Amino acid sequence: MTVATLAYQSLGVVYGDLSTSPLYVYKTTFSGKLSLHENDEEIYGVFSFIFWTFTLIALFKYTLIVMSADDNGEGFICYLGGTFALYSLLCRHARLSILPNQQATDEKLSAYATHGSMETWQSSALKSFFEKHPRFRTGLFILVLLGTCMAIGDGVLTPTISVLSAVSGVRLKITALHENYVVLISCVIIVGLFSLQHHGTNRVSFMFAPIVAAWLLCISSIGIYNIFRWNPHIFRALSPVYMLKFLKRTGIEGWISLGGVVLSITGVETMFADLGHFSSLSIRVAFSFLVYPCLVLAYMGEAAFLSKHHEDIQRSFYKAIPEAVFWPVFIVATFAAVVGSQAVISATFSIISQCCALNCFPFVKIIHTSSKIYGQIYIPEVNWILMCLCLAVTIGLRDTNMMGHAYGLAVTTVMFVTTCLMALVILIVWKQRIAIAVAFLVIFGSMELLYISASVYKIPEGGWIPLALSFIFMAIMYIWNYGTTKKHEFDVENKVSMNRIVCLGPSLGMVRVPGIGLIYTNLVSGVPAVFGHFVTNLPAFHQVLVFVCVKSVQVPYISEKDRLMIGRVGPKEYCMFRCIVRYGYKDLQQENYDFENRLVSGIVQFVEAEEDTTLKTTFISACGREVGNMDIEKFDAQNQDHSFTNSKSSDILETKIRKGHGGGAPLKDESLQILRAKESGVAFILGHSYAKAKKSSSIVKKFAINVVYSFLSKNCREPDVVLNVPHTSLLEVGMIYHV
């Protein structure tokens, strides 16, 4: 597609939230004790703040700078990208990984892409600092969680303030309509919006772009009309001098009102929600040549109207609309509010999905809503929780000014976290001079701290809502990540020694029955404790053993040809293998993924391609008997790095298997043995683990693990459901992890 076509299509998906901000910016800004004087300096000052905030943060910071730090084309992944996409870049370059099981072979992925300019002493020093001080790594992780949780809070606040602001305009024409009916209509629209989420946006998304385009053209045209009708001299307010005059004249009340000004850039953090589907150039073109000028004209026109109508400050947006076009604009405004809300809800689904992949959120049900557009998902549990929270905020507050105070704090916090992470990206990833990173942090960070300080003052008047929501989500995410990490450490500490396995002989001291046993584990090397626990209680196992590790890598996507890594565990006659299944944090496990057949094909291909020289490798046994010259663990680590071929190679291999030969060469005996085992059946063995804090643990840790983590584990999706394991072939092994 052409850049123009992509730019047009991006309007509905990317800019819905940002474009509806004029509905409530001036109303919220002047909701306090800030009074208007005849010389209009307050109005000029507020518009000047809006213009320069919109220009510096939205245009320069996000569009020109932050967007250049996209994660392999994923950019600001649904506002999570503002935090986790930038964080994933830092993790790959500075060893900050929050994910266990990271391997050197992961860095060979094309998506990993850590090569670039030469290392500088500043970047090396910063990397060394984080490596030596794990507490600072933890602090950075908590900062990322804060930004992410505030972004999730936006998913609650955006539908409430957008819909209620749009619907409240009807009271100008129907003056007898009570406020309760406005709230009721808003609630009906919100319920309808969330009730339709399971259908996905693909069926109606073709309407999003024309709605947002019509909305932008409407408000910009009305803005031009108001400028020439009421105050052509409003252009003078573009001078930053009016900002200084505003603060000098209004003092503390002017500073507090800046919490409303920042609402002009709400939604700017979602500008790159679908950078994976739209090119960065198309998004920049749409913003620079349509969205930016239209919104500036809309704010300027409303300021011109207010300069002559001080009494209409709390209903200025709809009052500024000419009588003849009021109802058409009202209808378009309502639809635009719905579109903006939809974009944020979809972004929230993606946030939760990616947090699950990064071990920062309990597993939830994720449904694909489009077979054509990758990444469009629906999460039922999150959808209904968001709906209930939106209804609670709408009914509880019933006031867009208080909602605006809450919204402003959430948005400014996300922006400041992004600025901090971006400063680190400039140093560590881009390897620029420290002066550039400091300049970026000081210029944009100081602006955002100014807005945060104004929003903090409004905590009693609605600002407590995002703080409460963020605290709850942060507690859930941090405890889940902490518990998952501790369980992995327990697995590593209690894994069965390979030397002990070798001493048992090819039969492993058990009866080997026909079939293939797939043992799911969190380890990429060694034999998991769940295997030892199983054979202790049932001394029989399958003829072919495969240890399967499903893990996430801190890249957005992993291609199918790099998805599986096949390797051998132990000597050849033991017939044990390891399969590592890798996913990026935006990858979703397909329910129709033919895993069994692809795995068997990969193992057979590995056996066929295996060199005889590697099979002559010898070992050191636990009995002290020398059976070779290579340490068993090193052998395991080396042989697990044989990667699985792409799907095309697999198809060729399957054809070879069906024919029973390939180019005249018969399959090896071991390959035939594996195929016969496949015909006998495949069993899936999963550890059903329970984490319990050690008796010596502190009260806080016991509460976190024994109460919170245990509750989340019991109420999230089970591993067999997440991994799409057929129940008829499932065998669970219970274990208690003392962490």
Is there a single domain that holds both residue 443 and residue 509? no
- pLDDT tens, 254-284? 899 898 899 999 887 766 544 555 677 888 8
Q: How confident is the model at residue 621, as a pLDDT?
A: 28
**In angstroms, what CA-CA distances link 238 with 47, 294, 303, 444?**
8, 15, 12, 19
Give the range of the structural domain holding residue 270, as residue numbers without chain letter.
3-94+124-461
Is there a single domain that holds both residue 400 and residue 508? no
Beta strands in 307-379 (DSSP E): 367-368, 377-378
Is the residue at 355 inside a domain?
Answer: yes
Is the residue at 99 inside a domain?
Answer: no
Is there a single domain that holds both residue 284 and residue 147? yes
- Confidence bin at 543 (pLDDT 50/70/90): confident
Report the alpha-carbon distance of residue 514 to residue 536 in Å, rounded. Answer: 20
Is there a single domain that holds both residue 166 and residue 292? yes
Report the alpha-carbon distance of residue 656 to residue 601 in Å, rounded. Answer: 10
Is there a single domain that holds both residue 416 and residue 519? no
pLDDT at 352 over 90: no
Q: How confident is the model at residue 53, as a pLDDT?
A: 94
Is the residue at 559 inside a domain?
Answer: yes
- The last residue of one of the domains, among 441, 461, 481, is 461
- Confidence bin at 628 (pLDDT 50/70/90): very low
Residue 723 or 610, more confident:
610
Is the residue at 574 inside a domain?
Answer: yes
**Count of domains observed in the chain:** 2
Whole-model pTM: value is 0.83
Q: Are 90 and 424 in contact (CB under 8 A)?
A: yes
pLDDT at 623 over 60: no
Which CATH number covers residue 301? 1.20.1740
Q: Are 535 and 701 in contact (CB under 8 A)?
A: no
Is the residue at 525 inside a domain?
Answer: yes
**One-letter identity of residue 168:** S
Is there a single domain that holds both residue 424 and residue 495? no
| Mean of pLDDT over the chain | 81
Is there a single domain that holds both residue 456 and residue 495? no
Full DSSP string of 449-461? HHHHHHHHTTGGG
Is the residue at 659 inside a domain?
Answer: no
Q: How confident is the model at residue 589, as a pLDDT?
A: 66
Is there a single domain that holds both residue 158 and residue 237? yes
Token output for 538: 């049932």
Is there a single domain that holds both residue 426 and residue 506? no
- pLDDT tens, 629-675? 333 344 344 444 343 334 344 444 444 444 444 445 677 888 899 99
Is the residue at 624 inside a domain?
Answer: no
Is there a single domain that holds both residue 510 and residue 387? no
| Nearest of 3, 655, 650, 586 to residue 289 by alpha carbon | 3
Q: How confident is the model at residue 473, as a pLDDT?
A: 92
Report the pLDDT averaged over residues 512-540.
82
Q: How confident is the model at residue 471, as a pLDDT?
A: 92
Is there a single domain that holds both residue 572 and residue 676? yes
pLDDT at 149 over 60: yes
Q: How confident is the model at residue 640, as a pLDDT?
A: 40
pLDDT at 465 over 60: yes
Is the residue at 379 inside a domain?
Answer: yes
Is there a single domain that holds both residue 301 and residue 431? yes
DSSP lists the bridge partners of residue 521 as 549
Name residue, tokens 């090397």: 525
